[in-house]
Structure 1
Amino acid sequence: MTTDLVRAIWCRELGRDEVGLDDDFFALGGQSVIMVGIQRAFIVEFGVEVPIDQLFRNPTVASITAYLQSQQFATQ
């Protein structure tokens, strides 16, 4: 899973054309229902289950990608 794939999921789930690496999920209008959609997309598309608390703790594409890599979920 790369940064670009994570960003694509966020764009789709947030209904945006572009999301910057350091854009805050909540500042972009994200809320818990959208977050669950992102969590589901990680499971469906990549077979990776990310705990919802980690999505709250990592509210940017860059930080959640770093978390995934630290957990050896992602390959870059």
Structure 2
Amino acid sequence: MTAQQKIHAIWARELKLEEFSDTDDFFALGGHSLIMTRIQQSILDELGVEVPMDQLFRKSTVQDIAAHIDSSLTVS
């Protein structure tokens, strides 16, 4: 499973949504700061990557967060 697929699964679970696009905006899907905190922890637990909260708010799609994680793993 790719990082993008894992993030999509985390969002689906935390937002309680079955279908959405990886380019849909977190906030347009009904997301808020408390859900984002749970998503941040799930990304750390399941992918082993800590994504700063400001990055999660700026990169508010699954696709953008996955790209951020992929680029940070490449740099590491």
Under a length normalisation based on structure 2, what TM-score does the superposition of the two structures give? 0.89
Q: Secondary structure at the match of 2:34?
A: helix
Greater helix share, structure number: 2
Q: What is aligned with 1:54?
A: 55
Q: Is the 8 A contact 1:7 1:21 kept in 2?
A: yes
Matched residue SS, 1:71:
helix
Deviation at 1:28, TM superposition (A): 0.3
Question: The residue matched to 2:25 in structure 1 has which SS?
Answer: coil
Give, as a single letter, the amino acid of the residue that structure 2 aligns with 1:63.
D
Query: What residue is the counterpart of 1:27 in the other structure?
Result: 28
Unaligned runs of 5+ in 2: none
Report the 3-state secondary structure (helix = DSSP H, G, I; strand = E; otherwise coil) of the residue aligned with 1:18. coil
Give the paired residue count. 73
Deviation at 1:19, TM superposition (A): 2.4
- Superposition TM-score, scaled by structure 1 size: 0.89
8 Å CA contact retained: 1:39, 1:49: yes
Work out the percentage of aligned pairs sharing the same amino acid.
49
Q: What's the counterpart of residue 19 of structure 2?
A: 18
Is residue 3–residue 47 contact of structure 2 (8 Å, CA) maintained in 1?
no
Structure 1 moving runs of 4+ over 6 Å? none
Match of 2:64 in 1: 63
